[in-house]
Structure formats: C-alpha cells, structure tokens
Amino acid sequence: MAKRKLQRFAEIGTFKNVVQLDEGKPYKGKWKQDFFKNENPLILELACGKGEYSVNLGKKYPGKNFVGIDYKGNRIWVGAKMALDEGIENVGFLRIQIQNILDYFEKEEVDEIWITFPDPQPQSPLERKRLTNPTFLEKYKTILKSGGKMHLKTDNDGFYEYTLEKIAEGNHAIEEQTTDVYKTHPADEILSIKTHYERIYLQKGKNINYVRFRFC
C-alpha cells in the first residue's frame, strides 16, 4: 500500500466519526441514540467513497443523521476529515463490506438510502457483487422503514438498466427516473451534488442516470 494510503488508514482509527468492522456491530438498532445521540432520521450513503453525498446532505440537513459506508478506508478518510474539520456532527462513516449490512442495522432502522456510483461489475459472473442485485435489495428492504426511499445515481447505463429490471421484477415503485439528471433537473440542489467519480464522468461528457424508488 502506498505511504499516504497507509497513513490515512491508520488515522481513521483515531477519528471519532469513523466506525470500522466489528466496532460497528454494537450500534445495530442504536445508531441514533448511541452514535448520533439524538432521534433524528437516519440516512445511508452506500459505496460512499469520499462521502460527498453524506457530507453535503449533512450540511444541508442538520436535523438528519448520515452514515457513509464503504470498505476503502483511504477514501472514507477524505469525507470523515472534512466533517471533523468543519464540525459537522450529524455525519459518520462505517467501514464495512455492504454484504454484511444486516449485522450493522436493525430491521426498519433506516429512513433513506443513497447508492452513489457503485462499481458496475458488468461481467455476468460478477452480478453477485452488483449493489442492486436482488440479494442486496432484499437487505436494504429489511433495514429501511416502510415507505423509505432508495436513490441510485450512476454513470453506467448498463448498470442503470439492470437496476430498473430488478426494480420491475420486484414490483417496487419508481417515483422518479431520468437518464440525464443535469438535463432534466438542472436546478435540483440535491441531485446536483457531485461525487469524485461523477466529476470524472461529467468531464468525459457522460450522462448521469438517477432513479428513486420505494420497496413494495
């Protein structure tokens, strides 16, 4: 591992807003009370990378709690450091494999979930790793409150189509969808939050897909 990655990896162990692996299990069912010390709604950002959605939504909605989830510590470091430096107390980070999310969140504990630019895993043997395959969707459904919203933003048209197929197969309810979010929602402050990967895709002229849905 490069020196900077190793330094960041060591440093997040000292950050009060980062929880890693087994340290997160005692918070299951108690994120609001024990981690955030309030009763505000709980929103997750999955595949958060540097956590741009968590940090920016956290700033915009001080009355809500946000947890960015990723397994790469050197990426989480960026968002966590920003939240610490700016004194943003309603944003935390959890370093885990999303496959294990049911070990960290109780049934119906979560109010909303964002998935931001997940790895598309286009090869069919890797469907098991796609964060919107039916196995993952079932887990999200379990931890979401009834009626809780799912948001997906992705540059990858194939991944987007795949997700729409899985939403349809599950008879879930699409509330909003677009294959070009900056064309259809140019003034939307939330949808205009840009992640690290999103900026790279936008520079290449890529359209950005977005879908919001609820589980039925």
Ligand X SMILES: C[S@@+](CC[C@H](N)C(=O)[O-])C[C@H]1O[C@@H](n2cnc3c(N)ncnc32)[C@H](O)[C@@H]1O
Residues that bind ligand X (CB under 6 A): 47-50, 70-72, 75, 97-99, 116-119, 195-198
Residue 88 or 115 having the CB closest to ligand X? 115
Q: What's CA 197's distance to the chain center, in Å?
A: 14
C-alpha 181/C-alpha 120 separation (Å) is: 18
Task: Pick the closer one to ligand X by CB: 93 or 197.
Answer: 197
State the minimum distance, in angstroms, from the CB of residue 136 to ligand X. 8
How many angstroms separate the CA atoms of 179 and 157, rounded? 8
**Parallel, antiparallel, or unpaired: how do β-strands 144-154 and 91-95 relate?**
unpaired
CA gap 29, 45 in Å, rounded:
17
What is the number of the residue whose Cβ is closest to ligand X?
49
56: part of which helix (H) or strand (E)?
helix 52-60
- Give the number of residues written for the chain: 216
Q: How far is the CB of 108 from ligand X (least distance, A)?
A: 22
Return the number of the residue (104 or 215) whose C-beta is nearest ligand X: 104
Could you say which of 119, 155, 180, 188 is catalytic? 119
Regarding beta strands 144-154 and 209-214, do their DSSP bridges make them parallel or antiparallel, or are they unpaired? antiparallel
Dihedral of the alpha carbons of 104, 54, 88, 36, in degrees to the nearest 10: -20
Write the CA distances from 9 to 77, 145, 203, integer angstroms.
Answer: 8, 33, 29
42 vs 96, which CB is nearer to ligand X? Answer: 96
The question of whether 119 is a catalytic residue gets the answer yes
Residues designated catalytic: 119
